[in-house]
Amino acid sequence: MQTVTLNNGVQMPIIGFGVYQIPDAEQCENAVYDALMAGYRLIDTAAGYMNEEAVGRAIRRSGIPREELFITTKLWVQDADYERAKLAFAKSLNKLQLDYIDLYLIHQPFGDYYGAWRAMEELYHAGKIKSIGVSNFSPERLMDLIVHNQVAPAVNQVETHPFYQQDDNLAFMQAQGVQHQSWGPFAEGRNDLFSNEVLAAIGHKYNKSIAQVVLRWLVQRHIVVIPKSVSKERIIANIDIFDFELSTDDLQQIAALDMGASLFLNHQDPEVAKMMGNWKVEL
């Protein structure tokens, strides 16, 4: 498995398996198990996904040695302060039935994420977390966190797909030593991604699917990606992206698809901040 090196020397697989919107416990467990059997070693979950226990069961069922795995989970907004972050982390660790987490992220840039970050730094120094990072942080909030804290985020997980390519954000993160990670690599099928003529024509050249072209495009940009599927066939296909390379012309054609804006949420919108702050998850 190809890896990237985080700013603290930790090796992170460049492709993993995401479990967002797989709330059904049995379906989630089976999907994660299939992913692990297919060769994935990075599994990405979150307290807010309500499926950490299912992920934990799949990990145990796989029998894969813990040191071979890279497990990510995330802190939800309601627990974004110093004391609650420690309690929430302990709950996630217990649900996953693990002794440590490889990557723990602040899920949204809201609440007292400074207090949460101090708690995460302590857990990091205690060896309970191998790397700490954030999700959905804009460049100015990411820089503010870097400047005013002891440990810089290792990862920033943000919406990234052919219609929202995040070139400036990628360059900024690379300059700061923060690993760019994509969520929503397929834009959840929006803008008819899976029938896009440009992506289909590129895929035809290499006998690859549109999904495989998109994932290859991301890893060639040195972006970590976590595709999700509950289909065993697609789970296997999504990791089969290391036997071809997109050409400069291919990359230019994909670059032209960029619309320069989110297809989901604007985190600078006060109504989004309000919604996230009021959205409680049962832990």
Which active-site residues does the annotation give?
A: 49
List helix spans (H) across 43-81. 52-62
Which two structure tokens, joined as six digits, stand for 82? 């110093």
Report the distance separating Cα 237 and Cα 216, nearest Å.
Answer: 12
- Which amino acid is residue 77, in one-letter code? V
In 26-41, which positions are buried (b, 16+ CB within 10 angstroms) versus exposed (e)? eebbbbbbbbbeeebb
Task: Name the E strands within 46-174.
Answer: 70-75, 101-106, 129-135, 155-159
**Which two three-digit tokens encode residue 1?**
């498995």
Q: How big, in percent rounded to 5, are the helix, strand and coil portions of the chain?
A: 50, 15, 35
Joined together, the tokens standing for residue 256 give: 């032209």
Who's near 281: CB < 8 A, 6+ residues apart? 47, 48, 50, 76, 78
Residue of 44, 30, 37 whose CA lies nearest to 236: 37
